[in-house]
Amino acid sequence: MVTRAIKNEVTRRRFLKRGLLGGFLLATAGGLGLGLWPTRQDANPRRALKLLDERGFAILAAIAARTVRVPGADPIEIAHRVDETLSLGVPEARKDFTQLLLLFENALAGFVFDGRAKPFTRLSPEAQDAVLLSWRNSRVALRRGGYHALRKLTLAAHWSNPDHWAAVGYPGPPQIGRPT
């Protein structure tokens, strides 16, 4: 019922006025205990980060570990590549994405929307998948949009990497020869 009340109260336009996800944060991240539960930071960067801080990086790597379930997948490398791509984005988009990661992680928001009481990074793999599914199937269009942003950025970071092409039978670009 709490979620329905929030959904009804906060219209799409109000969300947008406050920035992509600012409305969610204002509505949910009120400094309460659940919202402050720390992120599990066991995904350490291998090189300098361009946009994210270490907490955001750890959240992103945890998401990548669930979205890209492929032999040889490397969530740390995926998180680096997403970080590097997003660092080229416009300032507002960069900010929206870092807020999206915090919201995705946030235990209070998770409690309100999904009934979970732990940060995303502290959930079991199965529970993490349930969170992704909850965002995918949400009645709130911006949560679905957030799911797709996380899904697409992590998948694209993995599959654009030539190291993984062979796994889907893609032989790579042809040799440039004489025009035919």
Partner 1 sequence: MKTNGFFDANEWRKPVEKYDVCIIGSGAGGAVVAAQLVAAGFSVIILEEGGHHTKAEFKMREDTAFPMLYQEAGTRATKDLGISILQGRAVGGTTVVNWTTSFRTPQSVLDHWRVVHGVGGFTKADLDPHWAAVEERLNIKQIPLEETNRNNRTLYDGCKALGLAVETTFRNTRNCFKSGYCGMGCPVDAKQSMLVTYLPDAVQKGAVVLSRCRVDRLIIEAGRVARAECRLLREDGYGESGRALTIEANRFILSAGAIGTPAVLIRSGLGEGFVGKRTFLHPVVGTAAIFKDPIEPYYGAPQSVCSHALADRGENVGLFLEAAPLHPMMASLATSGFGDEHHARMIKLPFTSAHIALAIDGFHPSEVGGTVEVRASGAPLLDYPLPPRIWDALREGLKTLIRIDLAAGAQEVYTPHDPPFVFKSEKDLARLDEAPMALNRVSVYSAHVMGGAKMGDDPKQSVVRSSDLRHHTVANLHVVDGSVFPTSLGVNPQESIYGLAHLMGARFAQDWKTG
**Six-digit token string for 54:** 């270490």
Q: Which is nearer to partner 1, 4 or 69 (CB)?
A: 69
Measured from the Cβ of residue 157, the count of other Cβ atoms closer than 10 Å reads 24
- Residues in contact with partner 1, total (CB under 8 A)? 50
Site membership for partner 1, residue 180 (CB under 8 A): yes
What whole-number distance in Å separates Cα of residue 119 and Cα of residue 100? 14
Among 33, 48, 91, 124, binds partner 1 (CB under 8 A): 91
Distance of closest approach, residue 52 Cβ to partner 1, in angstroms: 15
Among 12, 14, 46, 47, binds partner 1 (CB under 8 A): 12
Distance of closest approach, residue 26 Cβ to partner 1, in angstroms: 18
Q: Which stretch binds partner 1 (CB under 8 A): 26-34, 54-62, 110-118, 151-159?
A: 151-159
What whole-number distance in Å separates Cα of residue 121 and Cα of residue 157? 20
Q: Which is nearer to partner 1, 27 or 155 (CB)?
A: 155
Site membership for partner 1, residue 48 (CB under 8 A): no
Site membership for partner 1, residue 164 (CB under 8 A): yes
What whole-number distance in Å separates Cα of residue 119 and Cα of residue 36? 9
DSSP calls for 126-167: HHHHHHHHHHHT-SSHHHHHHHHHHHHHHHHHHHTSGGGGGG
Among 62, 66, 107, 114, binds partner 1 (CB under 8 A): 66
Rounded (5°) CA angle 53-72-86: 30
Contact call for residues 65 and 75 (beta carbons, < 8 A): yes
Give the torsion sign (CA, 130, 98, 152, 136): positive
Q: Which is nearer to partner 1, 110 or 146 (CB)?
A: 146
What is the binding site for partner 1 (CB under 8 A)?
A: 12, 16, 20, 66-70, 81, 85-86, 88-93, 129, 132, 136, 141-142, 144-149, 151-153, 155-156, 158-162, 164-165, 167-170, 173-174, 176-177, 179-180
